[in-house]
Structures are given as C-alpha cells and as structure tokens.
Structure 1
Amino acid sequence: MSDQFDLIVIGGGPGGYVAAIRAAQLGLKTAVVERDKLGGICLNWGCIPTKALLRTAEIYHLMERAGEFGLKADNISFDIAKVVDRSRKVAGRLSGGVAGLMKKNKITVIEGFARLEKGAPAPKVFVKGKDGKETGYAAKHVILATGARARTVPQAGLEPDGKQVWTYREAMVPDTMPKSILVIGSGAIGIEFASFYRTLGAEVTVVEMMDRVMPVEDAEISAFAEKRFKKQGMKIMTGAQVEKLDKGATSVKVHVKSGGEAEVIEVERVILAIGIAANVENMGLEALGLKLEKGHVVNDGYGRTNVPGLYAIGDIAGPPWLAHKASHEGVVCVEKLAGQKDVHPFDKSNIPGCTYCNPQVASVGLTEASAKDAGHDVKVGRFQFVGNGKAIALGEDQGLVKTVFDAKTGELLGAHMVGAEVTELIQGYVIGRQLETTEAELMHTIFPHPTLSEMMHESVLDAYGRMLHM
C-alpha cells in the first residue's frame, strides 16, 4: 500500500471536502479522492452555476419592469453565450477556492476513481488515475461522499441525448436560446430551469406526475406558486405523464397523458428533471456487503454503515439531496469518528429546503398536512406580502409566509414561504427550530422595520389571533 491516512474521503463535493476540512482541524491525516473537479456537482454543475443563471434572469426581469420604478430601459436583450460564460466562470472560481482550502488545511488530494476492497480497520482504497495506473491506500476510516447524478426514465425514447433531450448539465450550457421547452418534473431542479427559461422568453411547459407542482412543499405554498407560474405564462400540467418522445430534426413531439386524455406537444428541447440516482456503481460496494436501500447507502445518523470503518454522507446516503445537508452530515460523521464528545446524531427535520425560482420557495419542518398526519393539533398562521411595507417598496408584493405550531405546546412544527428573498429569510425559522423555540419567544422577538422579516413575526402572531398589520 501507498500512504497511510487516518481518514480517506471519496468524493470532493460539499459533503466530502467539508468532512475533510473538519477532520484536518481535529488533527487527522486526511486525503480526498476526486475523479473530476473539487466542489462536486454543487459547485460545478448544480447549486452555484444555476444561481448565477437565475440571477441573470432576475436582473433581466427587473429591466423589463424598469418603468414601474421610474426608469427607462429600451430594447432589452441578452447574449446567451455571455450568460453561460458568466455562470461557468462563477463555478470555476469557487472550485479553485476549494483547492485552496485543501492546501491550507494540508489535505492530500488524490485524482482518480476509487474502488474499495475488504480490509481492516477500514476497507482498502485503490485509485485509478488518468494514466490508468492504480495505487492502493490505507486508512483507519473511509467516508463515501460520491454524490449522485440525474436520474433518467427507464423507458425507450426518453433517454437524454445531450441535444434535444437534456439533463441539468445541458440545460445549464445552451449554445442557443430555445424558443420552447418542456420540463419533465416540477421539483426544485425542474422549476428552477422552467423559471430561468420562461423569464428569458421561452415558451415553457411543465409536466408533473403528482397532483400539484413542487409536491414536497406545503400544499398552500405549492398552489400559490403555481398561480404565479401560470401568470408568467408557464403551462402547468399536473397529474400527467410523458409516454413517449418523437425526435425530429429540430424539435421533439412529446406525447403527454393527463386525466385519461392524450396530447402531443411540440417543443425544441426537453429537460428531464425527475430526481437523482446515487453514485454507488463500480466501487466494489457489493463485494463489501454494504447495505443499500432504494439505491442509497444506509447509515445510522452518524454516517456509520454496516461495514466497519466505512461511512456514507450526502446524496449517496439518501434524501434530502441538498448540499447543506451533505456538509452538516459530514461534520457530524467526522466529529463522531474522531471521538468528540456531545456529538448529536444527524437530524433531518431541521434541514431547510430552498428553490430559487420566481417566486422563491423555502421551507423547514412539517407541512400543515404532515403535522396533522403525525397527530398534532395545530395552529396555523399566515401573512401575505401585500401587507408588508418593504415588499411593496421593492415591487414584490406577491407572496405568503405560513407557520405551523403545535396547539398544546407552542412548538414551531414547520414554516413555509413563497415570495421574494424567502430563501434568505427561512434561516430565522431554522434557528428557531434548532433552539426549540415556542410561539412565546417568537412573538416577543423584535423584528427590524422596514424589512421582509417582519412578515415572519406577523405570521406567528396570526396563528394566535394577534396579527397587527392585516
């Protein structure tokens, strides 16, 4: 074997590189194996470059509304090549920043694809580099943080081809601006791309198998968002399924079945956004006897798997498939294996979810329906953006803040938002849940004026019949 490490992390995404940094801080000799670029999908092909694209769309939308603010902006246009170039440069800058963090923390970066073999106290790691040569490494602990990729439809004719049928990768780097797009799936990825392309002028159709868009969100928030999407000109088809695609020279005919009726929609491009699949193949995991469920590695809340010395974090360890989930899970895992005291098992209930469409959507905790299903007697508060001075001044008076409390204890069970900047606001409720705050503390908290955050206060007050400004 080559070098000996305390910890080898396989995968340099938000889960892997953060776990490696925390391990180095705790004095562990650490290595990260990465087959592509540091930062993983999030920094290179996900969270960050998509937000750069959506920022462009947001500015473009504001320029189109210039007259509302007493401004003039004539002949508004965009250069899609420059839009994409900016997005790629943002991603490249952050990926380089991760490399700097590895160097700063004296973490060894090993380039190549890793596979595992049985060993003790942890599986042995063999890395095949770009030259085709394989080198073996040993460690006391090994963390799997290999992430996931776009899930494809196991149906003939629906496979992505990179030309007319896209995954998120192709959707992020269009060489020309399509005039029409059909998005299959209305989760965060699908709705963000639908929002981006619609704002820049494409005719957009969204097909969702469930009975509403963004089905993981609170039903009331989902319904509010859907109305806004439709007002922007999106065609939304819920309870619908794509049965087949007929690809032509320059377009795709999409056969959609909805409510027992068939319809053919012709578009220039199709985007598949139906979830992700964990990267668990070709690493020797089967030979190790690693336990998987629904294609994801099973862990115990501290990242530990059923294989001694082997841990799993991030997307490979199951939903929610979020970068911040992976990072926090990595810290918990490393602190536990390093012997730190008072390390709490990873708790998914306080993970916020954010979707950066227009309008933005953000949430944490239980929806109203899931809270009732769990047996809670609930009190629900709501506050509309139209009653908030800052929202009106911003020209963003369409939105909703909703809070769900346990009627007996005052526990904040969940918070759900749709509207401008809610992806920034949601953290206030996340902290409240982490600190096990009740309605009393929230009602007595002073929120600054004029801010959008005042709506968070008003929503809490409304749940107890004390709303002030509507």
Structure 2
Amino acid sequence: MNYDVIVIGSGPGGYVAAIRASQLGFKTAVVERESLGGICLNWGCIPTKALIKSAQVFEYINHAADYGIKVEGQGVVDFDAVIKRSRGVADGMSKGVQFLMKKNKIDVIYGVGKLKSKGVVEVKGNDGAVSEHQAKHIILATGGRSRELPNLKQDGKKIIGYRQAMTLPKQPKSLVVVGSGAIGIEFAYFYNSIGTQVTVVEFLDNIVPLEDEDVSKQLARSLKKQGINIMTSSTVESVDSSGDLCKVNVKTAKGMEVLEAEVVLSAVGISTNLEGLGLEENGVQVDRGKVIVDDYYRTNVEGVYAIGDIVKGQALAHVASAEGITCVEHIAGLHVEPINYNNVPGCTYCKPEVASVGYTEKQARDAGYEIKVGKFPFSASGRASAAGAKDGFVKVIFDAKYGEFLGAHMIGENVTEMIAEVVAARKLETTGHDIIKTIHPHPTMSEALMEAAADAYGEVIHL
C-alpha cells in the first residue's frame, strides 16, 4: 500500500500523530504490534489511575467516621475485582482508539514494523506474514519499556516491572519498590493503601527527585504517616529470590541492610524500544538510546521522524502527543512553534498528589534569577479543610525583576487538575501580579495558587 504518512507505534504519540495527519488530509496508516493506545492506555497511565481510584474508595470507606458516616464493619479488598476493573477501563480506552482510527479512516496494520529502505516500512504480521508499505513520511513512535538493571533482573513473578504490577495473581503481603519516580510512588501508594507492607528504596537523597525539594520532603512525611517505609540514599545491591521471600540487599549510609518481601518492583525508569527498527541499516542517528531529531522531530534521514519516549524530552504521554501534533503540522507546512520543554507539567497520582511545572527553586537560583517565592499551605484553605485534605501546599516562584512566572510546585488533593492553570499562564507570559488579580472561585483548592502568588509579593490575606 502507498501512504502519505505511516506511524510505527500507536501510543499517545503515535495514534495522536496519525489522527492529526488524517485531519490534515494525509492518507495515513498505523503499525501496532499489540494493542491500540500503546503502553499508556493499556499498561500505564490509564489502568494505574483505575487501581488508584479503587484504593481511594477503600480509604474513604475505612475513614468514613471522619466525615460523620457510620459504616458497619471494615471494607474488604477484592484484589481480583480491583485488577479486573482496571483491565476493563484499559480495554475500553483501547476500543475508543479503535473507533477513532475508523472515524478518521486510518488503516491499522498489526505486526512489528521496521524501516526497510527509503520510504518503505516492512511489517511482520502476528501470523508471520511479511508485507511492505510505502510512505512519503514515516514517524517512529515506538515508546519504551521497564528498564532492567544488571543486578535487578526481572523474572516477571518475584522481581517485576510495572506491567506485572498491574496484573499480579494475588495481592502480596509485602513489597519492595526500587525507585521513587512517579511509577514507583504510585504503585507504593496503591499497594500500601490496600494493606500491603511497602518499602521504597531510592538511590538519591529525596523521593520524587525531579520535584522541588520542599515537595519531596512533604511527600515523604505524608507517605510515612500512611505507613510506607522510605529509604533514601540507598542502593539495592542484589536480590536473592530463591526462597519463599525475596531477600533484598540494600546498601545504606549506615551499612548493609537486608529487606524481605514477597515481591520486588523495579521502577528505575524506562528503556527505549529501538531494537529491530532498522535504524542503523538506514543511517538514522542515535545517541545514548535516543533518536536524534530537530525541533520538528526530523531525523537526519529525509522522510523519517521520531517522537515520544525515543527522543529528547520528558518521557510523558502528553509530551508524546504534543510532539506528534507538532511533527505532523510541520510536515503539512503549517506555522508551528517548537515545544518549550520547560513548560511541560509533571504529575504523580499518589495521595497527596504532586504536580509541577517550570523551574524548581534551586534551578531558578542556579540559572541566575533573583526570585520571589510564595507558599500557601492547604491547612489554611477552607475547601481543603472541608474535604479533610489539609496535607500539602502550593509553592510559586517568580522572577523578582520582571515578575515572570518561573515555576509552580503543588502537593495536595486534586493538584494534578490545578497545574494546567500555571502552564497556560506561563505560555501567555503572565506575571505574578496578574495571578494575584485573577479572581479565583471560593471555596476551591485553586485559591491556593492566588494566595501563594500574593505571599510571594507580601500581599497574602489568609496567612
């Protein structure tokens, strides 16, 4: 078949790129080896949020008395039903992408795709049959997988990655999570909430190490209060999984410590899916596991593009989607602004939630800015008090000279829904005073952003 655009991979980068290409009049196809929607919809973002929602409902039931509601007896987790619900949500989302493919007249070619030669994609179907398809533009969007450390080889049963963590045959009584990024912390929160004894081991000094230090410390306090054991500045040296329990040898500042757990979850990042793509044979340049691209996702080979986890930038679903749209619109000759990777929001969906965008306080100072910092705790928020969610705060950072909104860092209930206001404000070059003078509805959690901005300028009312 001949196409204008072929996209290899149908995750949030690939399927979004394909839809935008079709909207712009390109004859488009997507090559997918497994399920439409990729890891995000099937094994990542979406099903994990379904698990987390089940954990939150369980917590509500067990803390109903805090809200004046009497519930007879304690809630009981039906682990199989929780997993089944999560898989059902994921399947529904994947079917939704199937509908979008049909609606936009995009051909879906199931199998493993690779660059065969200039303008040619070879697909080995799931039945073993090989076909070739031509396209003027080929977009690589093959994503990533759970990264394996040499001393933490995954066996899929006792030492697992995120994929197995979503479909364990039974709830483990104990779990060691190696790594405290978003994936590790979300699974730690989920399993702890439903009664698993959880320990998080982090190599660096703070958990969620990409976040502002104040947020990292607050999250550590909150998770410890929930019963999660947190070990920072610690390294997993080896795991003995030969017995009934895994023996996890952890090197700490005080020496070696042995942890025992039924299951060890390796959450130390992702590895890119570049193997077997035909990159080397076709001269596509790669550096340290990332395809080298320009601001519009063109590789050094004409007609070949790459987006998502396999290129520079944050390995996040919404980043991949934005890259796919930017790439295709540039191919179509539209005027497109390159993505500003310093204005990409990051979210972690534990309790309390974490959301941030822009510079941390340390990054702003290191960049040479003279800054104003404001902070507003949710303990002073009427809505947070009414909701029984007083943990956390909003922290904002402004350039003292011009009022530029440099960054925002939030920890608390529903802050993942609040961060988009800051992303939009920074895109529109909004200043601190603009935020202060923007009337926020009362009572809401979002008022904390206005109050934090006012705190930065010595005008805060409710502190």
Alpha-carbon shift at residue 291 of structure 1 (Å): 1.5
Match of 2:128 in 1: 132
Q: Any idea what the Cα deviations from partners look like across 1:221-247, whole Å, max 9, x if unmatched?
A: 111100111111111111100011111
Match of 2:425 in 1: 432
Matching residue within 274, 277, 285 for 2:279: 285
**Which secondary structure does the structure 2 equivalent of 1:131 belong to?**
coil
Q: Does 1:348 align with 2:341?
A: yes
**What 5-or-longer segments of structure 1 have no aligned partner?**
none
Match of 1:105 in 2: 104
**Which secondary structure does the structure 2 equivalent of 1:417 belong to?**
strand
Q: Distance in 2 between matches of 1:281 and 1:260?
A: 41
Q: Distance in 2 between matches of 1:461 and 1:468?
A: 8
Aligned residue runs from structure 1 range 304-315, under 5 A: 304-315=298-309
Match of 1:379 in 2: 372
Q: Any idea what the Cα deviations from partners look like across 1:253-283, whole Å, max 9, x if unmatched?
A: 0000011500001111100000001100011
**Which secondary structure does the structure 2 equivalent of 1:173 belong to?**
coil
Q: Does 1:219 align with 2:213?
A: yes
Q: Any idea what the Cα deviations from partners look like across 1:103-131, whole Å, max 9, x if unmatched?
A: 00000111110111231xxx310001112
Match of 1:396 in 2: 389
Q: Distance in 1 between matches of 2:346 and 2:240?
A: 35
Alpha-carbon shift at residue 196 of structure 1 (Å): 0.4
Q: Distance in 2 between matches of 1:8 and 1:50?
A: 30
Q: Any idea what the Cα deviations from partners look like across 1:173-216, whole Å, max 9, x if unmatched?
A: 12111111000000000000000011111111100001110000
**Which secondary structure does the structure 2 equivalent of 1:14 belong to?**
coil
Alpha-carbon shift at residue 249 of structure 1 (Å): 3.5
Matching residue within 437, 440, 458 for 1:444: 437
Matching residue within 409, 413, 417 for 2:406: 413
Q: Distance in 1 between matches of 2:180 and 2:91?
A: 28
In the alignment, residue 32 of structure 1 is paired with which amino acid? V
Q: Distance in 2 between matches of 1:239 and 1:209?
A: 5
Q: Is contact 1:112-1:127 (8 Å) kept?
A: yes
- Off by >3 Å, runs of 4+ in structure 1: none
Q: Distance in 1 between matches of 2:425 and 2:306?
A: 28
Q: Does 1:147 align with 2:140?
A: no
**What 5-or-longer segments of structure 2 have no aligned partner?**
none
Q: Is contact 1:301-1:347 (8 Å) kept?
A: no
Match of 1:5 in 2: 3
Matching residue within 229, 237, 258 for 2:252: 258
Match of 1:70 in 2: 68
Match of 1:248 in 2: 242
**Which secondary structure does the structure 2 equivalent of 1:242 belong to?**
strand
Amino-acid identity (%): 53
Q: Distance in 1 between matches of 2:117 and 2:456?
A: 56
Q: Does 1:79 align with 2:62?
A: no
In the alignment, residue 220 of structure 1 is paired with which amino acid? D
**Which secondary structure does the structure 1 equivalent of 2:54 belong to?**
helix
Alpha-carbon shift at residue 250 of structure 1 (Å): 2.1
Alpha-carbon shift at residue 64 of structure 1 (Å): 1.1
Deviates more, 1:246-255 or 1:42-51: 246-255
In the alignment, residue 76 of structure 1 is paired with which amino acid? G
Aligned residue runs from structure 1 range 183-198, under 5 A: 183-198=177-192
RMSD: 0.8
**Which secondary structure does the structure 2 equivalent of 1:189 belong to?**
helix
Q: Distance in 1 between matches of 2:324 and 2:391?
A: 37
Q: Distance in 2 between matches of 1:293 and 1:409?
A: 38
In the alignment, residue 399 of structure 1 is paired with which amino acid? G
Q: Any idea what the Cα deviations from partners look like across 1:148-177, whole Å, max 9, x if unmatched?
A: 00000023xx21111111100111112111
**Which secondary structure does the structure 2 equivalent of 1:285 belong to?**
coil
Q: Distance in 1 between matches of 2:339 and 2:29?
A: 23
**Which secondary structure does the structure 1 equivalent of 2:460 belong to?**
coil
Q: Is contact 2:61-2:74 (8 Å) kept?
A: no
Match of 1:160 in 2: 154
State TM-score, norm by structure 2: 0.99
Match of 2:54 in 1: 56
Q: Is contact 1:205-1:234 (8 Å) kept?
A: yes
Matching residue within 412, 415, 422 for 1:422: 415
In the alignment, residue 231 of structure 1 is paired with which amino acid? K
**Which secondary structure does the structure 1 equivalent of 2:4 belong to?**
strand
Q: Distance in 2 between matches of 1:273 and 1:108?
A: 35
Q: Is contact 2:378-2:391 (8 Å) kept?
A: yes
Alpha-carbon shift at residue 248 of structure 1 (Å): 3.3
Q: Is contact 1:80-1:174 (8 Å) kept?
A: no
Deviates more, 1:385-394 or 1:72-81: 72-81
Q: Does 1:114 align with 2:108?
A: no
State TM-score, norm by structure 1: 0.97
Match of 1:209 in 2: 203
Q: Is contact 1:364-1:416 (8 Å) kept?
A: yes
Q: Distance in 1 between matches of 2:163 and 2:244?
A: 20
In the alignment, residue 378 of structure 2 is paired with which amino acid? F
Deviates more, 1:32-41 or 1:438-447: 438-447
**Which secondary structure does the structure 1 equivalent of 2:333 belong to?**
coil
